[in-house]
């Protein structure tokens, strides 16, 4: 089993995004570092648009993630509703 | 009467298909091989370019929208940082030297990456891959521009930033990153994609941008944090492109595997060698440290790279052989590199120093197996000498590796007290290397590396003096003439941090900032 | 192996001896003394006496090391491309068989660097 990870800049928008990720991925480990937050999760991680919208109280397009993203690892599968990171092996 | 039906909004996957498929055509006036002359000679076999997928499914319209937003955020932070004299908020002026190295070594590479992806974005015959490469070409240009903007602010206050472009083509240590990229852009388009898109972006940029930039933030530099993370936000897309290219080649034809593996092996090592300098910056040049190079290597290479290679095993890809050596070296190379820069501190466009006692203690703690045993006595001795007014500057040029161009300070993997010497003969000429892996890269394509512009040899050939200089004149000082050609101002840009103009200015400005003086 | 290229490819040898104006490169490293971080590159005429390398060039380059003064040159061991090698100090580099870009190392038995760390 390998970890996937994703890291965001620390700011007001990503606070909601990270809360949503933590809720949807109970295995995820949230690691706060200077100016950034790195999230590691075993095998896969799912980011759900609906959960982020719930936290933010506004519409959210998952492609807005690009603005705050620092880095990631794993294969990406993205639709309008979900952004998925996973290892297949 | 016609009913107006609201057009159903396309989903992400359909939008991507609509924006990247059917945009091109099979040419008829000229054969396709003439229109795309460079995407076959490397031996990579592609049967169906339509199988190419960009997992982010980023279309041009969305690209412009989000990039514009990134730029607005970035420049707002840079402006605020500059208006508020943010540079005086950094922990210590020694930190600025890490930025000097970063901005003079990496920024020109961003521009080269732009050129490389612009080229590949023309040469691949699949439209989806071309669109992704063109976006990356624009990203890289953006990175170069934002870093130059940042540099211009530091240049108002600190030495060593004043002629970065000129220096990039001349200074000995900048030849390391320059030759790395020259090697990549002179390869074919597929090798370039593996070199930069995969090995560098996916396997290694995390080490360049993430812990170091987080460290910049930790040291109070919001300017570097802003351009660094803004760049890295594009890297996530670039990494994905690099990984996609690997998967695509491996899925298209089994004959592609050995070629791709060879490139991964080569470029992982080329990148690992170049990142020695980044590791040194993390361990020695950040007054407040987030993590050691060894820890960063373990998280971002061993753990994350390990997961990646484990995943790619299903295509037959194996972890590069050089990783075994790099794993041993993680406990050594930053110390070896810093003592080298320290001794050549008269020929560098930044200041060097011996770490303070608490910093040496931190290194002892982070490198329990090696620091006290091999490196601390060396640094302490040099520090004592400096205190007695005998600061060590070497005036004899170092021997360089023909492949990575780094001075030959790397030691044998099984013996950190012995320099690692390797050599090859090619057409009656000798070539020297720092490692088995650099030698292997040379032996695979010697005709490429015999052309290397080796800074030390160029100095000895007399090619590194200004045109009006007469090296036969009485009292000719070659080091001074070389520094003049580099446009390094002796006594301002170089030498020890202790007593430097940057140190004095920073202290004075800090005092002014704290009181009415 | 040949460079993978669109057409026949040969590279210009940038560091051939003809480019050094009658001189040749010689690399020299001092084993177990890594305070001087890497082997050094020297430019010498092939007619230079090997003893002059030792007496005139090396002190400038390595003399800063605290153990330099302690070297017993009669005990020193020399290696060329890693193989044991015996220099003749009164002969020239050429007569000693030293060619452009040869690499020499010398070991000074009993001297193990700063605090015995091979520094």
Judging contacts by C-beta atoms under 8 Å, the chain B residues touching residue A42 are none
Q: Do the Cβ atoms of B378 and B340 come closer than 8 Å?
A: no
CB contact under 8 A, A3 and B303: yes
Of C1, C15, C40, the CB nearest to B454: C15
pLDDT of residue B209: 79
* Subunits close to B (at least 3 CB pairs below 8 A): A, C
Retrieve residue B187's tokens. Answer: 């390869």
Q: Do the Cβ atoms of A43 and A78 come closer than 8 Å?
A: no
**Which of C5, C7, C8, C15 would you mutate first to test chain B, the one with the most B CBs within 10 A?**
C15
CB contact under 8 A, C82 and B339: no
Burial of B34 per CB tally in 10 Å (0-12, 13-18, 19+): exposed
Of C6, C20, C36, the CB nearest to B461: C20
CB contact under 8 A, A80 and B56: no
CB contact under 8 A, B218 and A73: no
Asked whether residue B5 carries a pLDDT value surpassing 80, the answer given is no
Average pLDDT over residues B244-250: 95
Judging contacts by C-beta atoms under 8 Å, the chain A residues touching residue B218 are 34-35
- Closest residue in A to B231 (Cα) is A70
Minimum distance, in Å, between the CA of residue C88 and any CA atom of chain B: 23
Instruction: For chain B, say whether A77 makes contact (Cβ under 8 Å).
Output: yes
| Cα–Cα distance measured from residue B500 to residue B352, given in angstroms and rounded to the nearest whole number | 10
CATH class assigned to C17-116: alpha beta
**Which of B77, B132, B202, B311 would you mutate first to test chain A, the one with the most A CBs within 10 A?**
B311
B480 three-class SS = helix
Closest CA to B450 of C28, C82, C101: C101
pLDDT of residue B87: 92
| Cα–Cα distance measured from residue A49 to residue A9, given in angstroms and rounded to the nearest whole number | 18
Burial of B224 per CB tally in 10 Å (0-12, 13-18, 19+): buried
Residues 6+ apart with CB under 8 A from B514: none
pLDDT of residue B231: 85
Closest CA to B313 of A45, C19, A88, C60: A88
Q: How many domains does chain A have?
A: 1
Residues 6+ apart with CB under 8 A from C83: none
Give strand pairing partners of C107.
C77
C56 three-class SS = helix
Percent of chain C residues topping a pLDDT of 90: 98
Of A34, A71, A78, the CB nearest to B232: A71
CB contact under 8 A, C4 and B445: yes
Range of the domain at A19: 3-86
A–B: how many Cβ contacts below 8 A? 99
Percent of chain B residues topping a pLDDT of 90: 79
CB contact under 8 A, A64 and B313: no
pLDDT of residue B332: 98
Lowest mean pLDDT among A27-31, B19-23, B197-201: B19-23
CB contact under 8 A, B336 and C37: yes
Percent of chain A residues topping a pLDDT of 90: 88
CA B185 to chain centre: 14
Minimum distance, in Å, between the CA of residue B22 and any CA atom of chain A: 22
**Which of A4, A6, A36, A83 would you mutate first to test chain B, the one with the most B CBs within 10 A?**
A36
Q: Please, what sign has the CA dihedral across residues B53, B56, B62, B68?
A: negative
Asked whether residue B2 carries a pLDDT value surpassing 60, the answer given is no
Of B394, B448, B462, the CB nearest to C11: B448
Of C5, C39, C118, the CB nearest to B399: C39
Give strand pairing partners of A71.
A7
Minimum distance, in Å, between the CA of residue B229 and any CA atom of chain A: 6
pLDDT of residue B1: 52
Judging contacts by C-beta atoms under 8 Å, the chain A residues touching residue B13 are 79
Q: Which residues of B touch A (CB under 8 A)?
A: 11-13, 55-58, 62, 66, 69-70, 73, 202, 205-206, 209-210, 213-215, 217-218, 225, 229, 232-233, 235-237, 239-240, 243, 290, 303-304, 306-308, 310-314
State the pairing for strand pair C40-44/C24-30: antiparallel
Phi, psi at residue B32, to the nearest 5°?
-55, -35
**What's the mean pLDDT when you consider all of chain B?**
93
Judging contacts by C-beta atoms under 8 Å, the chain A residues touching residue B205 are 71
- Closest residue in B to A68 (Cα) is B233
CB contact under 8 A, A35 and B237: no
Of C2, C38, C115, the CB nearest to B398: C38
Instruction: For chain B, say whether A29 makes contact (Cβ under 8 Å).
Output: no
* Subunits close to A (at least 3 CB pairs below 8 A): B
Instruction: For chain B, say whether C64 makes contact (Cβ under 8 Å).
Output: yes
Asked whether residue B4 carries a pLDDT value surpassing 70, the answer given is no
Minimum distance, in Å, between the CA of residue C81 and any CA atom of chain B: 8
In this structure, what CATH number is given to the domain that contains residue A57?
3.90.56.10
Q: Which residue has the tokens 């279309």?
A: B59
pLDDT of residue B517: 53
Of A4, A76, A88, the CB nearest to B55: A76
Considering A58-72, B44-58, B443-457, the range whose residues carry the highest mean pLDDT is B443-457
CB contact under 8 A, B11 and A78: no
Q: Which domains does chain B have, with CATH numbers?
A: 58-333 (1.10.620.20), 398-453 (no CATH)
Q: Helix axis angle, B222-252 relative to B304-312, nearest 10°? A: 10
Chains B and A touch (3+ CB pairs under 8 A): yes
Of C13, C66, C82, the CB nearest to B421: C82
Of B392, B419, B430, the CB nearest to C29: B419
Closest CA to B366 of B294, B278, B300: B294
CB contact under 8 A, A2 and B311: yes
| Cα–Cα distance measured from residue B63 to residue B45, given in angstroms and rounded to the nearest whole number | 30
Q: Do the Cβ atoms of B246 and B262 come closer than 8 Å?
A: no
Stretches where chain C sits below pLDDT 50 are: none
pLDDT of residue A42: 95
| Cα–Cα distance measured from residue B382 to residue B218, given in angstroms and rounded to the nearest whole number | 29
Retrieve residue C106's tokens. Answer: 């010398």
pLDDT of residue B210: 86
| Cα–Cα distance measured from residue B312 to residue B505, given in angstroms and rounded to the nearest whole number | 52
Encode pLDDT of B331-355 as tens digits: 999 999 999 999 999 999 999 999 9
């Amino acid at each position: 089993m390998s970890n996937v990870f994703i890291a965001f800049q620390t700011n007001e928008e990503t606070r909601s995004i990270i809360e949503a990720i933590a809720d949807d991925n109970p295995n995820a480990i949230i690691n706060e570092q200077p100016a950034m937050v790195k999230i590691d999760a075993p095998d896969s991680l799912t980011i759900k648009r609906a959960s982020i919208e719930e936290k933010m109280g506004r519409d959210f397009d998952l492609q807005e993630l690009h603005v705050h993203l620092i880095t990631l690892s794993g294969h990406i599968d993205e639709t309008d509703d979900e952004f998925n990171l996973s290892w297949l092996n | 009467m016609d009913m107006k039906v609201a057009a159903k909004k396309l989903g992400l996957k359909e939008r991507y298909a609509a924006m990247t498929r059917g945009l091109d055509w099979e040419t008829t006036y000229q054969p396709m091989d003439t229109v795309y002359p460079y995407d076959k000679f490397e031996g990579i076999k592609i049967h169906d370019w339509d199988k190419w997928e960009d997992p982010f499914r980023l279309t041009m319209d969305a690209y412009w929208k989000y990039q514009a937003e990134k730029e607005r955020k970035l420049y707002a932070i840079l402006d605020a940082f500059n208006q508020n004299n943010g540079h005086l908020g950094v922990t210590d002026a020694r930190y600025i030297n890490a930025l000097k190295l970063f901005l003079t070594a990496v920024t020109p590479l961003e521009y080269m990456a732009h050129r490389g992806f612009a080229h590949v974005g023309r040469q691949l015959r699949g439209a989806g891959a071309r669109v992704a490469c063109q976006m990356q070409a624009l990203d890289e240009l953006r990175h170069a521009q934002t870093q130059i903007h940042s540099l211009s602010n530091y240049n108002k206050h600190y030495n060593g930033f004043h002629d970065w472009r000129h220096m990039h083509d001349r200074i000995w240590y900048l030849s390391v990153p320059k030759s790395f990229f020259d090697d990549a852009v002179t390869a074919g388009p597929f090798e370039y994609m593996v070199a930069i898109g995969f090995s560098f972006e996916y396997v290694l940029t995390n080490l360049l941008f993430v812990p170091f930039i987080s460290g910049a933030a930790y040291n109070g530099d919001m300017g570097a944090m802003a351009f660094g993370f803004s760049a890295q936000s594009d890297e996530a897309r670039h990494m994905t492109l690099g990984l996609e290219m690997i998967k695509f080649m491996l899925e298209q034809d089994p004959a592609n595997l050995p070629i791709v593996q060879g490139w991964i092996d080569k470029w992982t090592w080329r990148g690992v060698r170049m990142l020695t300098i980044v590791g040194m910056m993390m361990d020695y040049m950040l007054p407040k440290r987030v993590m050691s190079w060894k820890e960063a290597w373990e998280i971002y290479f061993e753990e994350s790279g390990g997961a990646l290679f484990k995943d790619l095993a299903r295509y037959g890809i194996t972890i590069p052989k050089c990783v075994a050596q790099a794993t041993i070296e993680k406990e050594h190379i930053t110390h070896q590199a810093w003592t080298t820069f320290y001794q050549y501190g008269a020929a560098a466009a930044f200041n060097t120093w011996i770490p303070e006692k608490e910093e040496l203690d931190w290194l002892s703690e982070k490198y329990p197996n090696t620091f006290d045993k091999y490196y601390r006595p060396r640094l302490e001795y040099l520090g004592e000498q400096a205190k007695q007014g005998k600061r060590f500057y070497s005036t004899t040029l170092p021997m360089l590796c023909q492949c990575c161009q780094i001075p030959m300070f790397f030691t044998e993997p099984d013996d950190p007290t012995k320099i690692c010497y390797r050599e090859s003969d090619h057409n009656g000429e000798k070539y020297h290397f720092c490692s088995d892996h650099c030698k292997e890269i040379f032996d695979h394509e010697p005709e490429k590396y015999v052309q290397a512009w080796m800074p030390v040899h160029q100095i000895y050939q007399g090619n590194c003096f200004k045109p009006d200089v007469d090296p036969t004149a009485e009292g000719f000082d070659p080091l001074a003439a070389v520094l003049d050609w580099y446009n390094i101002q002796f006594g301002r840009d170089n030498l020890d941090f202790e007593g430097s103009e940057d140190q004095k200015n920073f202290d004075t400005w800090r005092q002014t900032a704290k009181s009415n003086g | 192996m040949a460079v993978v290229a669109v057409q026949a490819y040969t590279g210009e040898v940038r560091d051939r001896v003809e480019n050094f104006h009658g001189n040749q490169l010689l690399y020299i490293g001092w084993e177990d003394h890594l305070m001087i971080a890497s082997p050094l590159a020297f430019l010498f005429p092939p007619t230079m006496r090997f003893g002059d390398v030792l007496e005139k060039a090396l002190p400038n380059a390595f003399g800063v090391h605290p153990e330099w003064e302690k070297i017993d040159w009669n005990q020193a061991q020399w290696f060329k491309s890693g193989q044991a090698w015996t220099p003749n100090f009164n002969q020239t580099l050429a007569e000693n068989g030293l060619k452009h870009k040869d690499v020499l190392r010398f070991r000074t038995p009993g001297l193990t660097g700063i605090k015995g760390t091979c520094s």
